[in-house]
Structure 1
Amino acid sequence: MILIISNNNERTTTEITKWLSIMDKKFIRVHEDEVFEIKVDNKKIFIESSRNKFFLDEITSVWYRRGGLRFIHLKYENISINEHMNEVQHWLYDYVIKTLESKKHINKESNSDVNKLLVLEQAQKFGLEVPIYFLAENTKDVHLHNTIIKTIAGNPILDNIDQQSDGIMYTTVINKKEKNNFFITFFQEKIEKDFEIRSFYLNGKIWSMAIFSQNDEQTKTDFRKYNLKKPNRNVRYNLPVEIEHKIQLLMKALDLNCGSLDFIKSGNKYYFLEVNTIGQFLGLSLTCNYNLEKEIADYL
């Protein structure tokens, strides 16, 4: 039995489950609004929600996509007993999650959020080129027009930022200095690029796509500012063997067996930017005819 942990309407998950259905493989899809209770039957642990029920020992592989397992937290009137039972429940839930993560898996809930600063340090350790970066709480020493600002925390979406729509924090070039100090922020050297590269990694295999975003002012700094009227040209691309080898070393060091990685090609150099453990890859798969959905289904 395959266990998939995802969000309710996550499109990528749906595409993989279609392949699993075609392959006649049994799977359980857990949604983020499910709450489970841990139970025991004939000395075997199983967890159950209003929608799903499964024994731990019947799960053969796990794909952590998004969300996470949520458990009913029992409370007791006696304060001392409640404190003790909180600890007991914590370790029981921890046992369930770690047992599932010990099985054949793609990604793990416990390390789905990687620390960008640690990732960049590891990337440099394995010989990947990384644009010069620094942390600062003001723009006093920032070189205008040659420095970009990015978030440390992945790619956050700010819900209902203007009461009408969500907001995305894009990569931005610093064109003016701020008068006041602000919270410590991530700054990075702006690299003049030939093109960008999005790579998908799964258990040692790598599939890449070149994104010609620099030809459009709208997407020049951040290709996620999609120009729907005039989309960027995207084509299959093969990274040099030595770069792929360094990616494999990096992912193993980070204990990640799946993820999307971003690079910039500039002259003869390939600059590593970041890794997203649960990044989108359907566009890459469709554009380059990689059929990554089946690759994931086959592995599971």
Structure 2
Amino acid sequence: MILVLSNEAYEQGTDPVLSWLLHYQVPFVKVSLHDLVTSKVRYHVDLKTRDIFINGQSVKHSITTIWHRRFLGAANAMSFAAGTNTDQLNFEIRTELHDLVSYLELLFRDKTWLTAFNRIKVNKLEVMDLASQAGLKVPHTRIINNRDEVLAFYHELGGHLISKPIADVRGSYQQGDSTHVVLTTNLDAGRIAALPEHFFPSLFQEKVAVDFEVRVFYLDGRFFATGTLFSGTERNVDKKLDSGSERVHYVPYQLPAVVEEQLTQLMRTLELNTGSIDLLRTVAGEYVFIEVNPVGQYLAESTYCHYALEKEIAEWLINQEISCASLE
């Protein structure tokens, strides 16, 4: 049986796949983090027998394939009121949940996973280092904590400099009626001059001269690439700001074989069998690796390019079930 670990609410990368599993009449169970803390499901975990029981029935041996997508993130939105001790209570609850889920992952470690728990969080700096070792070109990047060295780096790059978060954050900040979000920022001499003399260590990176961007959905050795073409010369340095523009066009794209080989090596090193990869194709015709998101969104590219990735994922899960059944 297939176990789906995902968000309680609708999730655009998960639910379309479940629709295909229903279409194929393949049994599956979806579990959210909320299911572990509410009374919707009666269960217990037996550490002596290393088994899990739901409504009195063992499920450890009936589950063979696990799809893990946007499951643990729900913990950040959980909040339990406890007067003046609310913050401490919520911290302890998240810690308890983390350790419980880590143990459940241990019990199911011998199953077939589409993104294991311990591979879901990647370090952007480590990934860029490994990408470079795999032969991929990456932007010149530095972590700097002072204005003088930012200015020197800016001149070294001929004035082509951007700044972005070190980690993969999607944070937002409320100030009155305004909401501020974290985005990639273009830097010029004026902005650099306005920086304090010293500041929190931040990531500064070469601004690549882009012809177009390529979003790649990787699924167990297969590549589904989408070229993002832009009409006109004015574009934002952060592509999220242009995602709804009529000037953005998505087309199927074929990566060179050597780039696919390098990406395959990187994904194997990261022990990832799926993920969304961002590349830039430069005006000189080179491919520059930016990042990989193990649970990145793919539905827009799937729709525009008729890849039917939700169907591809469902069929991958089903094939793992068939393979497990043939070995029994």
Could you tell me the TM-score, scaled by structure 1's length? Answer: 0.84
* Residue of structure 2 equivalent to 1:83: none
* Residue of structure 1 equivalent to 2:160: 146
* Residue of structure 2 equivalent to 1:125: 133
Q: In the TM superposition, what is the alpha-carbon distance from 1:139 to its structure 2 partner?
A: 2.8
* Residue of structure 1 equivalent to 2:20: 19
- SS, match of residue 278 in structure 1: coil
Deviations 1:196-232 (A, max 9, x none): 1100101010110111247353x43121103635240
* Residue of structure 1 equivalent to 2:278: 262
RMSD: 2.7
Residue type at the aligned position of 2:274: C
How does 1:268-279 map onto structure 2 within 5 Å? Answer: 268-279=285-296
Deviations 1:228-254 (A, max 9, x none): 352401111111000000000000000
Alignment partners' CA distance in 2, 1:192 and 1:209: 19
Greater alpha carbon shift after TM alignment, 61-70 vs 196-205: 61-70
Alignment partners' CA distance in 2, 1:231 and 1:157: 27
Contact 1:129 1:271 in 2 (8 A): yes
Alignment partners' CA distance in 1, 2:117 and 2:143: 28
* Residue of structure 1 equivalent to 2:122: 114
- SS, match of residue 128 in structure 1: coil
Contact 2:51 2:107 in 1 (8 A): no
* Residue of structure 2 equivalent to 1:45: 51
- Give the 3 Å change call, closer, same or farther, for CA 47–173 of structure 1 in structure 2: farther
* Residue of structure 1 equivalent to 2:85: none
- Give the 3 Å change call, closer, same or farther, for CA 172–180 of structure 1 in structure 2: same
Q: In the TM superposition, what is the alpha-carbon distance from 1:150 to its structure 2 partner?
A: 1.1
* Residue of structure 1 equivalent to 2:218: 201
Contact 1:39 1:47 in 2 (8 A): yes
- Give the 3 Å change call, closer, same or farther, for CA 276–48 of structure 1 in structure 2: same
Greater alpha carbon shift after TM alignment, 130-139 vs 92-101: 92-101
Contact 1:214 1:221 in 2 (8 A): no
Contact 2:145 2:198 in 1 (8 A): yes
Contact 1:214 1:220 in 2 (8 A): no
Contact 1:134 1:186 in 2 (8 A): yes
- Give the 3 Å change call, closer, same or farther, for CA 279–140 of structure 1 in structure 2: same
Alignment partners' CA distance in 1, 2:25 and 2:178: 40
Alignment partners' CA distance in 1, 2:6 and 2:176: 27
- Give the 3 Å change call, closer, same or farther, for CA 203–172 of structure 1 in structure 2: same
Alignment partners' CA distance in 1, 2:98 and 2:290: 36
Greater alpha carbon shift after TM alignment, 5-14 vs 128-137: 5-14
- SS, match of residue 215 in structure 2: strand
- Give the 3 Å change call, closer, same or farther, for CA 90–133 of structure 1 in structure 2: closer
- SS, match of residue 225 in structure 1: helix
User: Does residue 9 of the first structure (1) align with residue 13 of the second (2)?
Assistant: no
Unaligned 5+ segments in structure 2 are: 38-42, 76-96, 318-328
Alignment partners' CA distance in 1, 2:123 and 2:170: 14
User: Highest relative contact order (Cα 8 Å, sep 6+), 1 or 2?
Assistant: 2
Contact 1:46 1:54 in 2 (8 A): yes
- SS, match of residue 11 in structure 1: coil
Residue type at the aligned position of 1:290: Y
Deviations 1:53-86 (A, max 9, x none): 761111110111012398xxxxxxxxxxxxxxxx
Alignment partners' CA distance in 1, 2:208 and 2:231: 11
Contact 2:227 2:250 in 1 (8 A): yes
Alignment partners' CA distance in 1, 2:248 and 2:98: 48
- Give the 3 Å change call, closer, same or farther, for CA 40–198 of structure 1 in structure 2: same
